Amino acid sequence: GESVGLHLPTLSVQEGDNSIINCAYSNSASDYFIWYKQESGKGPQFIIDIRSNMDKRQGQRVTVLLNKTVKHLSLQIAATQPGDSAVYFCAENAQGAQKLVFGQGTRLTINP
């Protein structure tokens, strides 16, 4: 069935470096994508989203890139901080649908 997946299950970066977390999706009908951050034992926290009519969107220290041609999106975190340690999920939504389909998640760890 349709699914959203991630290339890497874990990512380790040095504090202060930039982090790039990738996500592949397979549902060509998906037109809305969201990145969530989940800390241990907590619910997901919204980070940033992007619609399919855009290829880039920036927030505070975060940027999401969308490549519809290869069905790929990425989350870039600038100047990674210890507080960024968490599992990051991408999620997709098809137009008009209520539900989100979550990817497998990437655990981001920060090395001091």
Partner 1 sequence: GAVVSQHPSWVICKSGTSVKIECRSLDFQATTMFWYRQFPKQSLMLMATSNEGSKATYEQGVEKDKFLINHASLTLSTLTVTSAHPEDSSFYICSATPGLALLWGNEQFFGPGTRLTVL
Residues that bind partner 1 (CB under 8 A): 32, 34, 36, 41-46, 49, 89, 91, 93, 96-105
Query: For partner 1, which is the closer residue by CB, 34 or 77?
Result: 34
**CB 104, min distance to partner 1, A:** 5
**CB 97, min distance to partner 1, A:** 7
Residue at 13: amino acid letter:
V
Query: For partner 1, which is the closer residue by CB, 77 or 87?
Result: 87
Place of tokens 């989940």: 38
**CB 108, min distance to partner 1, A:** 14
Structure tokens at 59: 């927030």
The DSSP call for residue 7 is S
User: For strand 101-102 and strand 45-51, is the pairing parallel, antiparallel, or unpaired?
Assistant: unpaired
Structure tokens at 112: 């001091």
